[in-house]
Amino acid sequence: ERHLISAADLTRDDAVLVLDTAEELARIADRPIKKLPTLRGRTVVNLFFEDSTRTRISFEAAAKRLSADVINFSAKGSSVSKGESLKDTALTLEAMGADAVVIRHHDSGAPHRLATSGWIGGSVVNAGDGTHEHPTQALLDAFTLRRHLAGGPDGDPVAHGTAGDGTGRDLTGRRVTIVGDILHSRVARSNVLLLHTLGAEVTVVAPPTLLPIGIESWPCQVSYSLDTVLDTSDAVMMLRVQRERMNAAYFPTEREYARRYGLDGDRMSRMPGHAVVMHPGPMNRGMEITAEVADSPRCTAVEQVTNGVSIRMAVLYLLLGGAEPAVTTRTEESK
Ligand code: CP
């Protein structure tokens, strides 16, 4: 597959290949030589129609660490504000030469349209489309989970920070709870799909008004009560309430939402000792997560950002196929 549009497109083997490649690239980049020549002469375009801090910067860092040329396009300040269409924007980028287009768009389905339209010849990577999917976020979350939960020699969860890289392992039987605004969350959909593929047992927790129609068909359990699932979770992933995608009439009040669905120090203390707290960012401190939890050593939010660079390096490397085999698996290396 030349594109990455949905977590559903990844088989277990595909996903494990991306995770193992990211581990290897993280290991290489940790050495003094931080830049690899793998994508020299290739051009990656970051095409962002929606705001982003983490995803845009980490794709840029990932492409640069692989020696690709990077063009950053932001709809704000471009001719999109004069009414230029996705098609004409894409044709313009294609005319300048793009081997990969990383697209974030407010419309669900825009990356699929770009990949299937014939407007561009390069690979398309979905960096978040509307309320649909954010597959590289799910991959970096799985990478983070695997490091924390899949590395014990007997397969048991091990203490925070001591799991090693978990290379080659999946997340079979690990219990991941995803909490919050599932209705508007592309992160939730991609995570449920990918974590299920990797063998995890996923539960989503939300008020009924923040669950999408058709949630019964997702490969996960559904609960309305955070308190009942805390003590059986290996990881609790908190999501931001996306006010910008809501009708103001449906805003939950901060106080009421935090009381029922927010993660504070008391709730965190009821999680098993090895369990981690995750957040894709950006956070609404005081709403879905307190500052005490966000800043605690059990919260992996900053580590997730670091891991995002390795994952995006792996995705670009695997899609664009480096000129030389910069990546070897540990098994090959030990032969
Ligand atoms: N997690 C995430 O996608 O963050 P950004 O919106 O800052 O890219």
Domains of the chain: 7-133+305-334 (3.40.50.1370), 135-301 (3.40.50.1370)
pLDDT of 166 reads: 60
Q: How far is CA 196 from the centre of its chain?
A: 15
C-beta 6 within 6 A of ligand 1: no
**Atom from ligand 1 closest to the CA of residue 128:** 3
Alpha-helical runs (H) found in 128-248:
135-149, 186-197
Atom of ligand 1 nearest to the CA of 50: 6
- How many angstroms does the Cα of residue 137 sit away from the middle of ligand 1? 8
Q: Which residues of the chain have pLDDT under 50?
A: 152-163, 323-335
Q: Where are the alpha helices (DSSP H) in the chain?
A: 12-29, 54-65, 86-96, 110-117, 135-149, 186-197, 254-261, 265-269, 291-294, 301-320, 330-334
53 C-beta closer than 6 A to ligand 1: yes
pLDDT recorded at residue 253: 81
- In this prediction, residue 333 carries a pLDDT of 40
How far apart are the CA of 186 and the centre of ligand 1, in A?
11
For position 334, what pLDDT does the model report?
38
CB 293 within 8 A of CB 299: yes
CA angle 266, 171, 297 (to 5 degrees): 35
* pTM (predicted TM-score): 0.91
Decide if 76 contacts 46 (C-beta within 8 A). no
Contact between 134 and 128 (Cβ < 8 Å): yes
